[in-house]
Chain A
Amino acid sequence: MTATLPARAASGSEQPPALPRRHGARATALFTVLGVTLVLLTLYAAGRGQLAIPAHEVWGSLMHRIGLDWGTMPTHPQGDNTLWQVRFPRIALAVVVGAALSTAGALMQGIFGNPLAEPSVVGVSTGAAFAAAIVIVFQIQLIGTWTTALFAFVGGLITTLLVYALSRADGRTEVVTLVLTGIAVNAVCASGLALMIFLGDTQEREQIVFWQLGSLNGSRWEYVGVVTPLVVVGLVGAMLMARRLDVLALGDRAARHVGIDVERLRLVAIVLVALLTAAAVSFAGIIAFVGLVVPHLIRMLVGPGHRVLVPASALAGAVLLLGADLIARTAMTGADLPIGMLTSLVGGPFFFWLLRRTRRTAGGWA
């Protein structure tokens, strides 16, 4: 017998059911915690070093600069000078570079639809570094301090486009292809970097090597002035494309079906990644894995939506790099450890763990 079930009650007559909230208290809490941590860490980090300055004196010096007579000025005669000539530029650079690296990582993972994409893993940092080393060795001075940034940007852009073109097949990027492409690109750029070291004189060599290890030593306000606008542009751009980046998780085809101009979006995102990587690499050298670790942790806490992920990663990246730099310059008395060494020490094992996990959940090397 052919049976026909009665139609379910017309849904229009009822009140539409309630949906879970977009991003709730967790995101707000995360932003608050990160913001407070950044402020406290800044006050603490500024006071640490060969010349110790208590946090309330750091606060006093800061307030004094913006015209408020709050708190006590540093008691040591060189205190205020040390803060403003050495510590604050370094802290500011750590903050913007950390934000740049994390945002670049989050963006890259979004456009590749792959949690393992990161500027240093896929060789973009090395590409930018190679280009910047050319500036050092040949002492190119086109536009002053900006020259290094410009070259790093071009180098980063070329390598990002290269990795993108080489690692995609059928509209998706497989983990194994991406990682192997990264090895190849890294190898070529590293050989270019090696050539630059070979060509340079002793002083240039030392400069390149130190900077290859990644360090915020010798930060100047001038550098902060170059890096900050680039990071602001990258961050704002990333925020503007956040919702479209979410949709990209569906894959290229389905994203196009819901009206996303995938190719254009990806091209703009690649330019932003190159910009952010260049901003970070220009004066701080290669600091690996920050862009891998930070967005991943944020995703675990508040989910993968880019409207929260991008700004939260930027903030968390700033906190992380500020903390890492504090360790780098205070862990050993009288020595300034390369910060890139520290981040790789933590980031390398993390990358491996992530690789194993991705491999398992994706059911093999998919």
Chain B
Amino acid sequence: MSHGDLCLRLTGVSARLGGHPILHDVTMTVVPGELVALVGPNGAGKTTLLSVMSGDVEPASGRAELDGIDLHRWKVAALARRRAVLPQEQRLAFGFRAVDVVRMGRAPWARRPEEDLDDVVVAESMQRTDVLDLAERSFPTLSGGEKARTSFARVLAQQTSLVLLDEPTAALDIRHQEQVLSEARQLAAEGHAVVAVLHDLTVAAAHADRVCVLAGGRLQADGAPRDVLTPDVLGEVYGHPVDVIDHHGRLVVLPHLIDTRPRSSTEEAACGSARS
């Protein structure tokens, strides 16, 4: 690894939450220039894995290193200049304006030369996520999608080489989903390392350079979308048969319908496996 190049390396990581083992022996690396999608069924440990990567959860065994230093040994402020996190839930205690929330992303750069760039960076970040029009609005009054995009702008404003996104598209319509993920791809193209937890496998296939499939707290597959997103792997991991269709060079993952159940639960199951 050349000096200054970011590298996130997990080696044999196991993690517990509230005494329960969640992750088992996960080994993976993330390097600059790639967008890695974390996929897997509910309760597979995706969010926990992301928390290990962000330094929130200390591995029970194994090592999680950023630039060769254990994540939990990083100083809070120094780490914040290296990695940014988009949480799954966007909460705010007081009615700050959207622009103030994006400005909070500049906190790690306070009292440093980079502080002079604050206004430019904040404005650009808001433009990239299409929230400039919301700048004066009070954050708690925004819709779920608007909140998610504003928070994504905050993450962009942090200007870190590692960007961790926990379900960045969960609350977004198609247009904003594509917009947010193309920005994530753009970040990777600019040399950032991006990790995103994604639920929609078709979306993951379209945008990720690499897909990591997590199930039962173990890394089941790790590779290019075309190698990993196969009917065999997915059928096994999700416990539900799927078709993977090549649509003019793009992969489409289609879960099988469950057809012997009453109509309402069939719909639920089909929706469930596509969404969750």
Q: Is B244's beta carbon under 8 Å from chain A?
A: no
Are A303 and B85 also in contact (CB < 8 A) when A244-B107, A256-B56 are?
A: no
Q: List which A292-316 residues lie within 8 A (CB) of chain B.
A: 299, 303-305
A58 to chain B, nearest CB (A): 40
**Binary interface encoding of chain A residues 127-138 relative to chain B, with 1 for a CB under 8 A from any of its CBs, else 0:** 000000000000
- Dominant SS among interface residues on chain A: loop
Q: Is B128's beta carbon under 8 Å from chain A?
A: yes
Do A259 and B96 touch (CB < 8 A)?
no
Are A1 and B248 also in contact (CB < 8 A) when A247-B107, A303-B95 are?
A: yes
Q: List which B86-117 residues lie within 8 A (CB) of chain A.
A: 87, 91-97, 99-101, 104-105, 107-108, 110
Q: Which residues of A contact B100 (CB under 8 A)?
A: 246, 303, 305
Residue of B nearest to A23 (CB): B100
Q: List which A231-253 residues lie within 8 A (CB) of chain B.
A: 243-244, 246-251, 253
Are A299 and B132 also in contact (CB < 8 A) when A11-B124, A19-B119, A243-B110 are?
A: no
Q: List which B69-95 residues lie within 8 A (CB) of chain A.
A: 76-81, 83-85, 87, 91-95
* Separation of A114 and B108 alpha carbons in the complex (Å): 24
* Separation of A260 and B108 alpha carbons in the complex (Å): 8
* Separation of A123 and B135 alpha carbons in the complex (Å): 38
A359 to chain B, nearest CB (A): 14
Q: Is A115's beta carbon under 8 Å from chain B?
A: yes
* Separation of A323 and B91 alpha carbons in the complex (Å): 37
Do A2 and B248 touch (CB < 8 A)?
yes
Q: Is B161's beta carbon under 8 Å from chain A?
A: no
Residue of A nearest to B78 (CB): A259
Q: Which residues of B contact A114 (CB under 8 A)?
A: 93
Do A249 and B140 touch (CB < 8 A)?
no
B80, B99, B105: the one contacting A19 at CB < 8 Å is B99
- Interface residues of B, Cβ cutoff 8 Å to A: 54, 56, 76-81, 83-85, 87, 91-97, 99-101, 104-105, 107-108, 110, 119-120, 122-124, 126-128, 132, 135-136, 140, 154, 158, 247-250
Other CB < 8 Å A-B pairs besides A16-B123, A19-B119, 19 of them? A2-B248, A16-B120, A17-B123, A17-B127, A17-B132, A19-B126, A19-B135, A247-B107, A251-B87, A251-B93, A257-B83, A258-B104, A258-B107, A258-B154, A261-B77, A299-B95, A303-B100, A304-B95, A361-B140
- Interface residues of A, Cβ cutoff 8 Å to B: 1-2, 11, 16-20, 113-115, 243-244, 246-251, 253-254, 256-261, 299, 303-305, 361
Chain A to chain B contacts (Cβ below 8 Å), 15 pairs: A1-B248, A2-B248, A19-B99, A19-B123, A20-B99, A20-B136, A249-B94, A250-B101, A251-B91, A256-B80, A258-B154, A259-B79, A261-B76, A303-B95, A303-B97
